[in-house]
Amino acid sequence: MKQKETLLNTMEINLSNSSFDELGEDHAGSSFETPLREDAFEMDDNLKIELIEKHFREIMHIMGLDLTDDSLKGTPHRVAKMYVKEVFSGLNPKNKPAAKLFENKYKYNEMLVEKDITFHSHCEHHFVPIYGKAHVAYISNGDVIGLSKINRIVQYYSKRPQVQERLTMQIGNELKEALGTEDVAVIMDAYHMCVSSRGVQDTNSSTVTSFYSGKFQHDEQTRQEFLKYIELKK
């Protein structure tokens, strides 16, 4: 009976995997907001680490790895801690950076561009890295933000399972809200390990996504100025 149940479960997994594979290859996204359950933060970080460690240990065991080996026996805990405290820390709203604004006393009313912001994220379809550069611009409407806060906003939304399109939009909308201005632009140029290390295994291609709002969306000259600064052509 037990073997039969195992066989049935395996059949169900195999039947569903074809549609899952197609979804991943099509690079589909489900929503603008990161898909999270309502109870996502009822469990504290320590318990999450404990449970992930337990399950990752089982994954390693299923793969046939010897967990008594000195090099491997600490891996489940390291992975669990890395997931919760580092690479997916952007899932927790408690880690959202506070964006303090300052009065634009020097009356700088031109475009401010922060380019080549390094980011690391993870593809939500295969949980492998996405990495690249983000380029951000805004035009002040009376307030300015500390430069490091722009980087922190990029990092916050990057540190969660993502698709690049959603990531770009989340950063753009967060900057609009934080700065109180519609005049925001974001371009992200990224490499996807789900493309380079598996599937088609193309190690050269990168993916570029953009977000334009306010003057960047409606004024061609403003948009071209931004593109000139970051040395990307339309």
Q: Catalytic residue numbers?
A: 123-126, 164, 192, 194
DSSP code string of 104-154: -TT---SEEEEEEEEEEEEETTT--EEEEEEEEEEE-SSEEE-HHHHHHHH
Indicate the angle between helix axes 75-82 and 45-62, nearest 10 degrees. 130
As given in the structure block, the two tokens for residue 140 are 């002040």
Give CA–CA dist 49/80, Å, rounded. 5
Distances (CA, A) of 202 to 73, 92, 120, 224: 34, 33, 19, 30
List Cβ neighbours of 148 (8 Å cut-off, separation of 6 or more): none
Nearest to 181 by CA among 133, 219, 233, 145: 145
Nearest to 52 by CA among 86, 85, 79: 79
DSSP state of 96: P
Nearest to 32 by CA among 209, 171, 214, 169: 169
